[in-house]
Structure 1
């Protein structure tokens, strides 16, 4: 069986994971997609050379979200409510926990529709870049269900409660231009420029100290729920670590040398 997630790492330490399941338009459930993504995240965590992750998709759809064929199985009497709860807990809900905890920065390169859980997958990333053809739909209510994979946590933090409520209560899609106006994506580019733009951004991140970038990401994560004094204590602890890294020492030496050269 072919892999549903293609793994590639370039010389800069930028890892690209490409969702590649054309039969389901890159659905996340009802297949090995989640397990393959989790295995890829674990591989990145073990790789000290990995610096940035880009999640992309083959075809014209970023992800169709949940597999409707699998939902037909779930509504049957042979699958009880308790069993369904465990399916979510031990299935797709592992995805937001693992992706949110990933130390390296993450970029979603959204090439087309990101629907339901596919929209949430993009929201789980630190940064989103969209092609002009991209759209985003928190569409669970259209199927009579709720965001079961963390969308109700991620989406309001990105675009605010009122707009998240509008998307979640109507299930309607927004286009790429609206997404950038609402702050859901950082930028919109022509389709041919999507991956180059994502990789260029990833390269600018990868050029910085990997230790400083990872610690900075952790501080941004903690700032979402920590008090200021608590975050300042954590910042001081992280800064003491950063000051002792070879990358910091080299950067300071280079800065001093450049300043001395300008004065000469």
Structure 2
């Protein structure tokens, strides 16, 4: 698949999605959104992919939304954009149909797709990451930052509000007080503050960033059962909204019961006893347990 605003590659079980508008600091566009969603469709469908890395080309990760439309940048109706498609949500009487598909935030469409990923996602944050450049990371499982990375939830300084479902993700990752401080102030901060605030898991030298991300991805790809990793990802994320640990117990019990009967569990035990690397036969495309997905389908209405 040939993309225009991202680069997609797969090597040794690891897919890398690189935002690729370096001359524009990888500023986010509707086309980039669509291409990234398509790339995650590809990683889900490819059993050779065991983990996904997302990074940026050049000196930025993503400098936020493309502001080339000036004052109209965020007025999608005036632009005639309707990023979700399907025409204008403005009714004949001038009121807005907020349930209209075109009202949907493009960043949110991307983060929800990343949230649904069947493969673990690692963000390798190489440089400036502000606006959607930082909120798209929140649905990624692990974020590793270069010492050159800078972050900013700058929405209030642009007269808008946090998007990309970040009001759900960010407080769960860093806590409500830290989330509000960064969003109220809209200031840009460095990698060490991001580490102290638990936004990223580690900070490394710029020339070590991709090596560090790939080493982590390789550890997952080389040693772990893909179906187990996929289930674990969904179990952990979806239990963030559970109102009682019994909900986790229900899913844990189903998963242990189902996986214990599959070939991966037998291979995991036997390979350990025989002191050899495991060769897991089950695949995400064919061998997810019969109770998966266990959650209700949720669609934008």
TM over 0.5: yes
- Using the alignment, how far apart are the partners of 2:37 and 2:140 within structure 1? 14
Structure 2: stretches of 5+ with no match in the other structure: 81-87, 91-95, 277-301
**2:256 alignment partner in structure 1:** 239
Establish whether residue 107 from structure 1 lines up as the match of residue 106 from structure 2.
no
**2:24 alignment partner in structure 1:** 24
Match of 2:233 among 191, 201, 217: 217
Establish whether residue 253 from structure 1 lines up as the match of residue 270 from structure 2.
yes
Residues 129-148 of structure 1 mapped to structure 2, 5 A cutoff: 129-148=144-163
* 1:253 positional shift: 0.9
**2:42 alignment partner in structure 1:** 43
RMSD, aligned α-carbons: 2.2
* 1:79 positional shift: 4.9
* 1:71 positional shift: 5.3
- Using the alignment, how far apart are the partners of 2:172 and 2:259 within structure 1? 28
TM-score, normalization by structure 1: 0.90
Number of residue pairs matched? 257
- Using the alignment, how far apart are the partners of 2:103 and 2:53 within structure 1? 25
* 1:75 positional shift: 4.1
Specify which structure has the higher proportion of helix: 1
- Using the alignment, how far apart are the partners of 2:77 and 2:193 within structure 1? 41
Q: Check whether the contact 1:114–1:122 (CA below 8 A) recurs between aligned residues.
A: no
**2:8 alignment partner in structure 1:** 7
* 1:171 positional shift: 0.3
TM-score, normalization by structure 2: 0.80
- Using the alignment, how far apart are the partners of 1:90 and 1:166 within structure 2? 23
* 1:77 positional shift: 8.2
Deviations 1:135-173 (A, max 9, x none): 110001111111122122211111111111010001011
Q: Check whether the contact 2:89–2:103 (CA below 8 A) recurs between aligned residues.
A: no
* 1:37 positional shift: 0.3
- Using the alignment, how far apart are the partners of 1:202 and 1:242 within structure 2? 23
CA pair 42-71 structure 1, distance change in 2 beyond 3 A: farther
